[in-house]
């Protein structure tokens, strides 16, 4: 954070509202921040203001486990949320880097997801209620605390990925899922020229993985896997008998395709893989979306496919590209870490619509000015 920001740590929504009104009256900006794991996403702040440390707003407000919903304040960490749910054998099926630091508010603001999005979806699929402060210090509510909810505008979807530019989150309600009875994770190796064969096998397989991640050798080594080739990590989660059948089925299919199984891992590998999204030594990080059927072809086009970190959720069509030098990225990338001039060169045309929403909801440019738009 630049020196132009002074830090505040509100301990209640009332105190938070007072800071918002103070900032508005003085023409300053409001920059909410949780664990700080995703602050290099987006642009730097553009005007003086308050860096709001939201970690004191960390209460679990409501957890009716039988309804399979939970309502929390934005400063609750993802790890604390998962620990609370684990008591009732439930969980929120998302993978985020550094879950012990990442907060609910930050994950919503940055729209963070990982390998489990293939089988379970993303954070926006579980967010059913939200509250946030407007520039008048008024708390606005959208959705509610029950899964069957049709009241009001779908404000949850606007806040997901907004990087705090549309208000300050004060509460979020999620629907959650029961923990799976059993887990199986298979890791196989594949050469660059056979990635297409492997992905087609996974697409047509009789088994149904819930998480798939593709890693090149530098990516695998970055998470502590010693290898000289591409790795594919495939996860199953279900009833014990179902997982056993799916594991056996996929192993047979891989053997028939002459694809080597290297290891069988534990569920702990998914948060480690998610950590690649903020890998500390990567100066440049970008995410691009293609059709799942084109992932292998897109990888083959990359001139440094075997020497720079590349990882993907391939059957979602998502590729993560890293570089320590000025990258030769394709045009359709979302830049996650880079100098501002490179970020500006890859702005999406859809941002014109988002800018209009920003001007409508926050006409005074109070909330996180500059974070999404210069």
Split into its structural domains, the chain has a count of: 2
Q: Hey, is 47 helix, strand or coil?
A: coil
Residue 355 has pLDDT above 50, yes or no: yes
Question: Does residue 120 share a domain with residue 250?
Answer: no
Residue 5 has pLDDT above 70, yes or no: yes
Cα separation, 135 vs 25, whole angstroms: 10
Handedness of CA 330, 336, 341, 344 (dihedral sign): positive
**Per-residue pLDDT tens over the stretch 106-140:** 999 999 999 999 999 999 999 999 999 999 999 99
Q: Do β-strands 211-215 and 168-175 pair in parallel, antiparallel, or remain unpaired?
A: unpaired
Question: Does residue 258 share a domain with residue 319?
Answer: yes
**Cβ atoms within 10 Å of 248's Cβ, excluding its own:** 12
Question: Does residue 279 share a domain with residue 162?
Answer: no
Kindly report the CATH number assigned to the domain that includes residue 297.
Answer: 3.40.462
Q: How confident is the model at residue 148 (pLDDT cuts 50, 70, 90)?
A: low
Residue 1 has pLDDT above 50, yes or no: no
Question: Which candidate, 189, 171, 351, 316, places its Cα nearest to that of 260?
Answer: 189
Question: Does residue 116 share a domain with residue 42?
Answer: yes
Q: Do β-strands 60-62 and 69-72 pair in parallel, antiparallel, or remain unpaired?
A: antiparallel
Question: Does residue 256 share a domain with residue 146?
Answer: no
pTM recorded for the entire structure: 0.91
Question: Does residue 203 share a domain with residue 144?
Answer: no
Residue 350 has pLDDT above 70, yes or no: no
Question: Does residue 83 share a domain with residue 35?
Answer: yes
Question: Does residue 249 share a domain with residue 142?
Answer: no
Question: Does residue 191 share a domain with residue 171?
Answer: no
**H or E, element range at 340:** helix 340-344
Question: Does residue 10 share a domain with residue 100?
Answer: yes
Return the percentage of the chain with pLDDT > 90, whole number: 70
Task: Read off the pLDDT of each residue in 346-353 and give the average, rounded to a whole number.
Answer: 63
Assigned token pair, 173 = 């309600």
Question: Does residue 150 share a domain with residue 25?
Answer: yes
Using the 8-state DSSP alphabet, how is residue 209 labeled? -
**Cβ atoms within 10 Å of 325's Cβ, excluding its own:** 9
Kindly report the CATH number assigned to the domain that includes residue 133.
Answer: 3.30.465.10
Cα separation, 39 vs 95, whole angstroms: 18
| Residue 251, phi then psi, degrees to nearest 5 | -60, -40
Assigned token pair, 299 = 């990888």
Domain assignment of residue 206, given as a range: 182-336
Question: Does residue 278 share a domain with residue 236?
Answer: yes
**Per-residue pLDDT tens over the stretch 307-323:** 889 999 999 999 999 98
**Cβ atoms within 10 Å of 318's Cβ, excluding its own:** 23
Query: DSSP readout, 225-256?
Result: ---SSEEEEEEEEE-HHHHHHHHHHHHHHHHH
Assigned token pair, 12 = 């209640």
The residue assigned the tokens 């990882």 is: 311
């Amino acid at each position: 954070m630049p020196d132009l920001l002074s830090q505040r740590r509100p301990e209640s929504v009332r105190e938070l509202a007072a800071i918002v009104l103070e900032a508005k009256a003085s023409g300053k900006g409001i920059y909410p921040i949780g664990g700080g794991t995703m602050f290099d996403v987006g642009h730097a702040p553009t005007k003086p203001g308050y860096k709001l440390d939201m970690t004191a707003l960390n209460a679990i407000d409501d957890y009716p486990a039988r309804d399979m919903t939970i309502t929390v304040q934005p400063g609750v960490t993802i790890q604390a949320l998962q620990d609370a749910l684990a008591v009732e054998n439930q969980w929120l099926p998302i993978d985020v880097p550094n879950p012990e630091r990442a907060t609910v508010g930050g994950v919503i603001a940055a729209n963070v997801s990982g390998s489990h999005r293939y089988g379970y979806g993303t954070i926006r699929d579980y967010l059913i209620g939200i509250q946030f402060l407007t520039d008048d210090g008024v708390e606005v509510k959208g959705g509610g605390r029950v899964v069957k909810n049709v009241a009001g505008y779908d404000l949850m979807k606007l806040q997901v990925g907004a990087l705090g530019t549309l208000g300050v989150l004060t509460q979020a309600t999620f629907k959650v899922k029961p923990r799976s009875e059993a887990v199986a994770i298979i890791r196989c190796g594949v050469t660059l020229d056979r990635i297409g064969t492997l992905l087609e096998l996974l697409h047509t397989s009789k088994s149904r993985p819930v998480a798939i991640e593709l890693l090149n050798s530098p990516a695998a080594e970055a998470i502590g896997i010693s290898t000289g080739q591409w790795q594919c990590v495939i996860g199953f989660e279900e009833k014990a008998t179902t997982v056993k059948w799916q594991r056996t089925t996929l192993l047979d299919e891989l053997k028939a395709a002459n694809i080597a199984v290297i290891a069988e891992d534990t569920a702990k590998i998914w948060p480690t893989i998610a950590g690649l999204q903020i890998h500390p030594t990567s100066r440049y990080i970008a995410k691009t979306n293609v059709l799942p059927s084109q992932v292998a072809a897109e990888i083959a086009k990359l001139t440094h496919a075997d020497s720079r970190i590349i990882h993907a959720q391939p059957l979602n069509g998502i590729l993560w590209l890293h570089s320590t030098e000025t990258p030769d990225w394709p045009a359709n990338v979302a830049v996650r870490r880079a100098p501002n001039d490179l970020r500006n060169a890859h702005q999406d045309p859809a941002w014109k619509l988002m800018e209009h929403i920003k001007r409508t909801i926050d006409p005074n440019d109070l909330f996180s000015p500059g974070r999404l738009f210069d």
